[in-house]
Amino acid sequence: LKLGVWDKFGEEKMNSTDAFHYIPIDHKGWARGVSYTKEEISVLEQADARTDVNEVEKKELDSDWSSTDDHFRHQDFDAAVTFHDFTLVNFFAEWCIHCRKFSPTWMEASDKVSDKMSFTNGQGLEVKVKFLKMNCVDFGEHCKQAQIAAFPTLRLYKRDGSFEVFTQKRTIDNIISFLTTTIRNSHLIVAQHHAIFNEGCQVMGTLRVPRVPGHFHLQAEA
C-alpha cells in the first residue's frame, strides 16, 4: 500500500512520507507489530519501482556490463545491482592477468549458479543469485564511484544496495560457500514485509494543508 497526496490539479505530489504511519494488521484488523520505519518504506518503494518493468527493461537490467559496444544502454548500474534480491558482481579489467585466469572459473560458476541454484535467507525463504560482470575499463567512472581498487573484485549486492566482499581463494566451491553463508545471515526488509502486506496495513497520520481555495485528494495504490 502506498499513499500519495496530490494538489488540486493532480500535477504536484506533496511529500507525505513523514506524515503517515503504516502499521501491519492481520486479517481481523488487529495490529501485528510496530510501524514501518522510513528506511523500510523506502526500500519497499524502490523494490516496487524496480520490479515493475517490461521485458525489454528486464533484459537491460540483467545484461552484463562487458562492453560499451553492445546493444544495451548501461545507464544505471545501481538499478542493475539492486534489481534482484542478490547480485554477485565481478569487477574486472581486460588487461588484468588475474582476471583472465579467473574468467573460466567465473563462467563455470555463473552457468552453475546464476538464476539456477537456490539459497536460504535469514527468513528461511528460498532465493536465487544473479551473476553480473562489470568491465572497469569501458565503465571506469562507474567503478570509480563504486570505489573498486583491485581486480578482480567480487561483491554480493543485496536489493537495498548494501554489499559483502568476497575475499577467499577464487574457486567455485568457495564462491558457493560464500553465497550460502552470506545469504543465510541476511535479512531482507522486502522479503519480510511483502509477506506482511499479504495481510493488511493500517495508515494513520495528519496532513497540513494551506488555507487557500482549492481541494486535495488522497490516492491509495496497492
> What's the pLDDT at 196?
44
> What's the pLDDT at 168?
96
Mean pLDDT of 195-216: 62
The pTM assigned to this predicted structure is: 0.66
> What's the pLDDT at 197?
47
Bridge partners (DSSP) of residue 24 are 201
- Per the prediction, the chain carries an average pLDDT of 79
Q: What is the pLDDT of residues 27-78, one digit of tens each?
A: 666 666 666 666 666 666 666 655 567 787 788 888 888 876 666 667 889 9
> What's the pLDDT at 74?
74
Least confident of 35-39, 72-76, 88-92, 157-161: 35-39
Q: Contact at 8 Å (CB) between 87 and 163?
A: no
CB contact burial 4-34 (16+ within 10 A = b; e otherwise): ebeeeeeeeeeeeeeebebbbeeeeeeeeee
Q: What is the pLDDT of residues 171-186, one digit of tens each?
A: 999 999 999 999 999 8
Q: Bigger pLDDT: 1 or 28?
A: 28
Q: Contact at 8 Å (CB) between 127 and 85?
A: yes
